Structure 1
Amino acid sequence: MFLNSFRLLWLFIVIPNVTPVGRQLDPTCSVDWNLAGKTSEEIVFDLSCNVTSGWIGLGLSRNGAMSGADIVTARLLQNGTIILDDRHGVGNQKPIRDIKSDYKLLASSKNSSHTTVKFSRLLNTCDKDGDVEITDDTLKLIWAWGALGPAENLTQHKPTNRGAIVVNLLDKKVTPPPPIHSSINLGQTVTLNSNATLYTCKIHKLSVQQKNHVIGYEVYFQAQAKQYAHHASVLSCTPPSGASADQFFSQYADQEYDCYYTDKYFPTEHCKFFEFQWTLGGVPTYFPEELGVPIGEQKDQYYMTMFHINNPLKENGLEFRLGFNLFYTQQLRKHDIGFLQLGLNSSRAYSLTVPPNSAKYVLSSHCPGDCTKILPTSGIQVFVYLLHFHLSGKKMKIRHFREGVELPWIGYDGNYDTNFQMSRMMRKHVTVLPNDHITVECEFGTKEKWLNGSTVIGGRGIGEEMCQAFLMYYPRTKELNRCGSSVEHEQLLKFMGIDKVKMDKAENDPMVLTPPTLAGKRYSQVVSGINWTTALRDNFQNMTKYGPQTAVCQGVTSDKKFNVIAKYPVIKKDYVPINKCDGKGGHSACHKFKVSFILLQITLSIPFLVFMVLS
């Protein structure tokens, strides 16, 4: 039943409302869902299908397959009755009914063309044998429909009567605010070349000459561009000291450049302040009604667009347009939005080294208190987080420490999907105070078939890796825009038995110069050639995760940048979310608010997963 492959959707959502979320699953079925109950621990679905007989079904799967999926089916009996069954998948066969039914049929109707079913389920049913808990993890929603056989039981669906999409059931609906007064187009033309990875940039001068607020934005593509675009950014530009913006940037404006590897000079290093971000999964973004991104505060303001283009077949000469539309208003909102990049800077390249045949290699990157101490005294309020990996990333969490205590995670995804890198609207905003310590933990695995157990190092290409998280917050500050740490290259080279390397500007995998026994090999080749015993692997993991690292604290301008040494803060106990089914997790009574947060987190986790219930 149900399909093993799935269609990928792109999402970047930032709207704080409780409007039911909906999806058109395919031409036949659509579904709406919303949280219910006093503590929002229940999710309600409205499923409507252009089906009047047989059965319709929907499942929640961690990998897109039917096996292990949590499935609900509605049988449309000949006497007009609709029977809802709670089931689970055990392979490509009829799903088995659960011993305990956790779906409740609330209402149903049928006319000459459609059947509509409304039902509910708890986010966490505590049924470990047949149900999937709904959390912030990314899931695959699978669905199908078919005919009823003898005794009005399910029969196999047709190959075309099934589908799947990637979802997070805790997402909120995107609702454009009325009215959108004006828009700015930041577009550029991309021409593919023979490189598999292309970062293409363009500098734009804004026409707005007084303060306005951007209240939403979208990324647009010509049709053929979608298959190549991996992620995109809009960054504000600051001229070097002593130069005006027009004097410095006008000579580069309105021309497309390779962001990093061009023979011509391009001022990428002067355009580093993130303003807007899009990744695989993004749809139009609108901000809460009290928040906006300021534009036009400075005379002659310049922005840079940057697009990561993935061209695995190395097609040459194809040209297409893509860009950002920024929606703005002169009616200023209460707070200015800021953007903070966390994690490993991609320019650090092989500071991110995942040994071959790794199952659960964890990389840490810190934004220590010595960096956050420059935040406003009252702190900042984080309301959105975005997690960013490439192909080998499995799990990521943003850990939060204060005065020797680990607070609830700012963000987490334990079932990451690189094709669904959505921005996550937080139901409860998180306060980050001066001297708080934030750690991004990234878990990688390289045993999958497409990675073939290979060594993976950091880089900008899709086959290389990143470990980054992005926060949107208010009120805006220009003191801190990037914050992250990494292991020094010298430590890694020493561990691998390498004395000296050479790395050109366009490379991330350096050539070994000495010792003579390794000369001529690439760094990754040396790593792959090592006999990675369990003891050696553990030593390397401990060094790269728990050892001292160099953290970079970067403000808007180059003069607001400094380095500090960072490592995990000393705490008595790691934070663990409470599991309401076994009562485990959380913290002792000395930090009661953590418990309430965890309960909130569990409450939030469950609703979205069930939403896609029937199709």
Structure 2
Amino acid sequence: MACALLFCLFLLLALEVPFLGNCFGPMSRLRYSRFLDPSNVVFLRWDFDLKAEFITFELQVRTAGWVGLGVTNRYTRAGSDLVVGGVLSDGNVYFSDQHLVDEDTLREDGSQDAELHGLTEGAVYTTMRFSRPFRSCDPHDQDITGDTVRVMAAYGLDDTLKLDRNRIFVKSIFLLQVVHPDDLEVPEDTIIHDLEITDFLIPEDDTTYACTFLPLPIVSKKHHIYKFEPKLVNHNETMVHHILVYACGNASALPTGISDCYGADPAFSLCSQVIVGWAVGGTSYQFPDDVGISIGTPLDPQWIRLEVHYSNFHNLPGVYDSSGIRVYYTSHLRKYDMGVLQLGFFTFPIHFIPPGAESFMSYGLCKTEKFEEMNGAPVPDIQVYGYLLHTHLAGRALQAVQYRNGTQLQTICKDDSYDFNLQETRDLPARVAIKPGDELLVECHYQTLDREALTFGGPSTINEMCLIFLFYYPRNNISSCMGYPDIIYVAQELGEEVSDSMEGMMAMNNVEWTPESIKKAERACKEARQTVIIKTIDEVVENTTGWIPDIIPTPRGPCLESSGGKVEPQDKTPAGFKAAPVALSGSSTVSLRRLPLVAHLLVQGILSWLLAMLRTGG
């Protein structure tokens, strides 16, 4: 009888224990971290579960007052969400999911979608750890997506919950990094090699593209480059806009010295197959464990073109620079040789963006049907595993979309919150196969409300670009595949009489740009026939033509219903909602959610009876 009662006791205790939750516990290691302010007072750690669609944050601030963390947008703090908390002088903790009704006023959400895991105040720091769904059903909560996220942190010097603009910080972060560098192999025989421009006197011009040709590491057998990182001089870091490394075909006759990449000597623009690239805001990047850049075989490039783009907007004189790219390579070979395919709008002045545009879309088409002919050998499926997005200051969003036999397959990559100051190589959550014959479309979204003159495509930071670099394997000889519209058609649609492309470009200056003419120009650019330019590593160029297909937007998935507070019917979005999951993979802690009160009382009553029976031996 005692054994049976014990079994019942353990069964009921199991019912009483909270079920596994959907976030990281108060002591779990969070893999990612970043300072959010220039003085290193505000420190953020975070981690996430892609399958469960939950993210956990830990904010540590050098203060004895309240702290807050949330998500904001590019243009205004109004509408931002902010989870706030602190510890009162009597030791009691306060914690709340709030939002900004204007730039300075906080209000508590009707639905409390953040779950507290710990809040402590020590001699130096206040630390708050909490979790929240990527997307709740509360319209006051900003979504956590695979896009760039503008993370906002705020704090006070005491427990008076009042915003001070001097203690509010916003930083763009790519939160959902699917691969962490610590999860990747580091070969024991790693060798480091620097590709750099040495002691280069930066011109006093706004924009300079400096190029030089350098040999890759000389090795007696095949090696793989598996990692790269920028090599920047501290005082020049803000002047370096991007650095690209282009592989040269082994038949190329290359110049010596340093010169303007796109100036009077066309030889300095040779070699157009990007193999690695860095841009503003980026850090180091390590390839997945099964891919690398092959060096040391007769088929591999022996020389590269190093391109460093300087933006000397203050026209500073006498500044010398030795920036470049540091590569890490190994004799421990990976399974695949990787390549980079450049997509987008061909960079030259046919690419135009009207002034005063709230929104303007540009398109660059790639057709892969000629890849095999130009490659000189069969082209296996291109397996894309990573990407780098690139526009200049007017860029707001980019995406690359894949089509097969006229049907849209999927969005390969996108960022609807693109930030010029955060350009880094990113991994895809799942690899994407591109088959011969597929079409690839790049769409770039621009805003030029602050501009009074046309913006043209070009190399300067005040010009524009629309580029996406796809990192893939196995390598082939195709370096780029980019498109541009028939500018004659566009000009004629805008009421300008032109007979050639030069006249078409010049005619854009004659247009009176209004919201109506801006939309008309955008529509004409999309409807115009596209010329597609395909280029190989050996500078072989082929043209084809095509038409821009429509893009079917990817619907947002369902939101996660709040585990606390109230969700109003109007908050349940058209995409639907679902209850927060009971148990999720990779969980390491328990949730605070428990059985209803009636169930608690019933369980406690049965437990009391069982314990009494055990004591009496009944």
TM-score w.r.t. the length of structure 2 is: 0.79
Q: Which residue of 1 aligns with 2:521?
A: 540
The reply on whether 1:184 has 2:193 as its aligned counterpart is yes
CA distance in 2, matches of 1:475, 1:55: 52
What do residues 367-389 of structure 1 show as CA deviations (whole Å, max 9, x unaligned)?
A: 12424566856511111121111
Cα offset, 1:300, TM superposition = 7.9
Cα offset, 1:317, TM superposition = 3.5
Compared with structure 1, are the counterparts of its residues 64 and 578 closer, same or farther at alpha carbon in structure 2 (3 Å cutoff)?
A: closer
Cα offset, 1:271, TM superposition = 1.4
Compared with structure 1, are the counterparts of its residues 177 and 225 closer, same or farther at alpha carbon in structure 2 (3 Å cutoff)?
A: farther
What do residues 275-295 of structure 1 show as CA deviations (whole Å, max 9, x unaligned)?
A: 101111211111111111112
Q: Which residue of 2 aligns with 1:612?
A: none
Cα offset, 1:442, TM superposition = 1.1
- What secondary structure, in the 3-state scheme, does the structure 1 residue paired with 2:74 have? coil
- What secondary structure, in the 3-state scheme, does the structure 2 residue paired with 1:544 have? helix
Q: Which residue of 1 aligns with 2:283?
A: 283
The 5-angstrom pairing of residues 582-593 of structure 1 reads: none
Q: Which residue of 2 aligns with 1:384?
A: 386
- What secondary structure, in the 3-state scheme, does the structure 2 residue paired with 1:579 have? coil
The reply on whether 1:162 has 2:168 as its aligned counterpart is yes
Work out which structure has the larger RCO, using CA pairs closer than 8 Å and 6 or more positions apart in sequence. 1
CA distance in 1, matches of 2:309, 2:93: 49
What do residues 157-176 of structure 1 show as CA deviations (whole Å, max 9, x unaligned)?
A: 4x543322111221254337
Cα offset, 1:492, TM superposition = 4.8
CA distance in 1, matches of 2:174, 2:470: 18
The reply on whether 1:482 has 2:484 as its aligned counterpart is no
CA contact (8 A) 1:174 1:284 kept: no
Compared with structure 1, are the counterparts of its residues 456 and 109 closer, same or farther at alpha carbon in structure 2 (3 Å cutoff)?
A: same
Cα offset, 1:180, TM superposition = 6.0
CA contact (8 A) 1:408 1:575 kept: no
- Give the gaps of 5 or more residues in structure 1: 1-17, 503-509, 513-521, 587-602, 604-615
Q: Which residue of 2 aligns with 1:341?
A: 342
CA contact (8 A) 2:224 2:292 kept: yes
The reply on whether 1:259 has 2:261 as its aligned counterpart is yes
Q: Which residue of 1 aligns with 2:54?
A: 42
CA contact (8 A) 2:59 2:69 kept: no
Tell me which amino acid in the other structure corresponds to 1:44. T
Q: Which residue of 1 aligns with 2:545?
A: 565
What do residues 21-45 of structure 1 show as CA deviations (whole Å, max 9, x unaligned)?
A: 11123432322111137x2310112
CA distance in 1, matches of 2:146, 2:56: 17
Cα offset, 1:82, TM superposition = 2.4
Q: Which residue of 2 aligns with 1:140?
A: 150
The 5-angstrom pairing of residues 67-86 of structure 1 reads: 67-86=78-97
What do residues 414-460 of structure 1 show as CA deviations (whole Å, max 9, x unaligned)?
A: 12211112222111111111111110011222113xx2x42111111
**Structure 1 residues 66-75 or 527-536, which shifts more?**
527-536
For the pair shown, which has the larger CA radius of gyration, 1 or 2? Answer: 2
Q: Percent identity?
A: 26
CA contact (8 A) 2:66 2:85 kept: yes
**Structure 1 residues 215-224 or 367-376, which shifts more?**
367-376
CA distance in 1, matches of 2:170, 2:556: 30
- Give the gaps of 5 or more residues in structure 2: 1-28, 560-571, 577-583, 585-618
CA distance in 2, matches of 1:202, 1:495: 43
- What secondary structure, in the 3-state scheme, does the structure 2 residue paired with 1:446 have? coil
- What secondary structure, in the 3-state scheme, does the structure 2 residue paired with 1:313 have? coil
What do residues 286-325 of structure 1 show as CA deviations (whole Å, max 9, x unaligned)?
A: 1111111112223881111001111223334422211111
Q: Which residue of 1 aligns with 2:410?
A: 408
Q: Which residue of 2 aligns with 1:14?
A: none
CA contact (8 A) 1:219 1:278 kept: yes
Cα offset, 1:576, TM superposition = 2.3
The 5-angstrom pairing of residues 8-407 of structure 1 reads: 20-26=31-37, 27-36=40-49, 39-51=51-63, 53-63=64-74, 65-128=76-139, 130-148=140-158, 153-157=160-164, 160-171=166-177, 172-175=179-182, 177-178=185-186, 179=188, 181-188=190-197, 189-209=199-219, 210-240=221-251, 248-249=253-254, 252-253=255-256, 255-262=257-264, 265=265, 267-298=267-298, 301-346=302-347, 349-371=348-370, 378-407=380-409
- What secondary structure, in the 3-state scheme, does the structure 2 residue paired with 1:350 have? coil
CA distance in 1, matches of 2:190, 2:413: 33
Compared with structure 1, are the counterparts of its residues 135 and 457 closer, same or farther at alpha carbon in structure 2 (3 Å cutoff)?
A: same
Cα offset, 1:122, TM superposition = 0.2
Corresponding pairs, count: 525
